[in-house]
Amino acid sequence: MQQITLNTLKKMKKDGEKIAVLTCYDSTFSKISNQAGIDALLVGDTLGMVLQGNDSTLPVMIEHMAYHTACVKKGNNQAFIISDLPFMTYSFPEQALKNAGVLMQAGAHMVKLEGDIWLCETITRLTENGVPVCAHIGLTPQAVNVLGGFKVQGRTEEQAKQLLESAKKLEESGAAMLLLECVPSNLAEKITKAVDIPVIGIGAGAETDAQVLVLHDMLGLNEKTAKFVRNFMEGQSSVQDAIKAYVLAVKDGSFPSEKNQYIY
Ligand code: KIV
């Protein structure tokens, strides 16, 4: 198996090949996801909700992320591993450097952080120090208390313009990937076309370069899920088959369908 790198993902964007990403928190699911052909695994701070049972990602610590990143790495033989910097671990560049180092040494190929153009200086410093960065914009769950809930972002013309500008500035500052969460599909399409770096979407329509879902959601383990989730376990007899079905649906463009999108 050939390791998927940032260059592989950039080439996939250029060639118009869709990228399938899934969250992952342990070595068993990492192995199964690799066998199912996943391109990238996100060790997301959603582990604070789906593994730890919290009602937000805020209680997650850098130690938790390092532990789960190391677990995922052990089951991995091909996928690109992205690991989340948790809440309050990248408030200024020096702090981000120290904590990103912990995740990279645990096995991440890239770190993800949530925010806007206030992160540009941090992204440049991380990149200069050998840490590729994915910038997460739109609905940023670590800011749930500022946003007033888990709500679709970029619905007004002004907000949409601001998100598009942010995406360009984050790319200029060195971000090697973007993640767009819960934004209208037409805005996600505009942003994806406006930048050269791969754009991962969740609740952002079908036109982003990549799709990501939370593992527990797509396996139908959560009773209440957002409209952008599809239960891929339905009609399958194994977890590996469900993940294979997800990879196939992302690659052939059948996921997300219109009913999984926010259209304004
Ligand atoms: O932490 C996470 O799993 C994420 C996804 C919701 C994209 O950031």
pLDDT in tens, 144-178: 999 999 999 999 999 999 999 999 999 999 999 99
Give nearest CA residue, ligand 1 atom 3.
44
Q: Does 181 qualify as catalytic in the annotation?
A: yes
Determine the distance separating the centroid of ligand 1 and the alpha carbon of 25, expressed in angstroms.
Answer: 11
How many CB atoms sit inside 10 A of residue 179's CB? 28
CA–CA dist 125, 264 (Å, integer): 37
Q: Which atom of ligand 1 is nearest to the CA of 44?
A: 1
Q: Which atom of ligand 1 is nearest to the CA of 112?
A: 8
Residues with CB under 6 A from ligand 1: 23, 42, 44-46, 84, 179, 181, 202, 212, 214
How does residue 264 score in pLDDT terms, banded at 50, 70 and 90? Answer: confident
CA–CA dist 120, 66 (Å, integer): 24
Determine the distance separating the centroid of ligand 1 and the alpha carbon of 24, expressed in angstroms.
Answer: 10
Determine the distance separating the centroid of ligand 1 and the alpha carbon of 21, expressed in angstroms.
Answer: 11
Q: What is the pLDDT of residues 223-255, one digit of tens each?
A: 888 999 999 999 999 999 999 999 999 999 999
Within 13 Å and on the Cβ side, how many CA atoms surround 161? 3
How many CB atoms sit inside 10 A of residue 77's CB? 11
Q: Which secondary structure element, helix H or strand E, spans residue 250, and what is its range?
A: helix 239-251
Give nearest CA residue, ligand 1 atom 8.
44
Q: Are 114 and 76 in contact (CB under 8 A)?
A: no
CA–CA dist 182, 248 (Å, integer): 22
User: Which candidate in 128, 181, 189, 223 is catalytic?
Assistant: 181
State the pTM of this model: 0.98
Residues 6+ apart with CB under 8 A from 263: 184, 185, 186, 205
